Structure 1
């Protein structure tokens, strides 16, 4: 199924309570054939208004991280665990995430990235293990059953709250950059 069809299907989604408060569904953005996919938590105010993930302050920081890692934003695909903004930017509940995950799995199956960066504990806990701790797992490569390399790291919003986390995220993205360059050189 194409990303366009998945996005069209999701437009009327009311699978959870988040639908009632949304301005726009924030489906995802980027290269539909991306080798690298970034997955965050959920849309904030700016994302909800524009319908595009990572366009607010955290997104601007993510753009700088990608640029420093010599990765073009337009070459990757960016999505979130939930497609609608949780009220007051709270963490989405397990129930809300569970309602949205089928859409994300469809995106992953369609895009078929070879590297996935999990931005923050919400992405880590909903895609890898419910009790996983980002502080313990960040910076370590994981691998899916289908061979996707997965790098958990802190969410850019966490860096805005605690700048001391910038160095570990940069270390993680250097690893991502190196793997990504290998993939690009192979193709």
Structure 2
């Protein structure tokens, strides 16, 4: 599927029950030929209302995090979620929902073909890396995601919403962003 066909498939998706309660699908936003891809968990209420990932306070913090390493959601970055529809009451996605939605994210990764994926939050990291490991054990190292015949470096960090609740961990997130920037810079050499 190319971008238009993928957008259409996501917009009309009825593979799980989340389609019954969504207002909008949240496809993703940004540069479709980005060098970085940011992957989060699932849309929240504001994202469902607006149809765009990472809006509100968490989105503002994500934008600031990206700006701190010279990136922007509109240029050089594509932002998507594991799920394209909001789970009711912002509950964690079920394994079935993740499984049903994963082909969409995989195809987005294949189309973007980023040099690096920054995964924010435990649920997204576990889904993308197919692991049960804690975020603490996944941070600080480079993982790999296979898509479209490529092995893409993956860096895991905390979700911006978590950082808003736990600002003492912002230093750890900054270390993760610096790691991502180093990996990205070395990919271009």
Select which of 166, 175, 180 maps to 1:176: 180
Runs of 5+ consecutive residues of structure 2 not aligned to the other structure:
none
In structure 1, stretches of 5+ residues that fail to align are none
Please say if residues 10 and 84 of structure 2, whose CA atoms lie closer than 8 Å, have aligned partners that are also in contact: no
Say whether the 8 Å CA contact 2:35–2:77 is kept in structure 1: yes
Q: Which runs of 4+ in 1 moved over 3 A?
A: 181-184
- Normalising by structure 2, we get a TM-score of 0.93
Residue correspondence of structure 1 range 81-160 to structure 2 within 5 A: 81-145=82-146, 146-160=150-164
CA RMSD of superposed structures (Å): 1.3
* SS in structure 2 at match of 1:97: helix
Q: TM-score, normalised by structure 1?
A: 0.93
- 3-state DSSP of counterpart to 1:130: coil
Given that 1:71 and 1:177 are in contact with CA atoms closer than 8 Å, whether structure 2 keeps it comes out as no
* Aligned residue in 1 for 2:55: 55
CA distance in 2 between partners of 1:70 and 1:114 (Å): 15
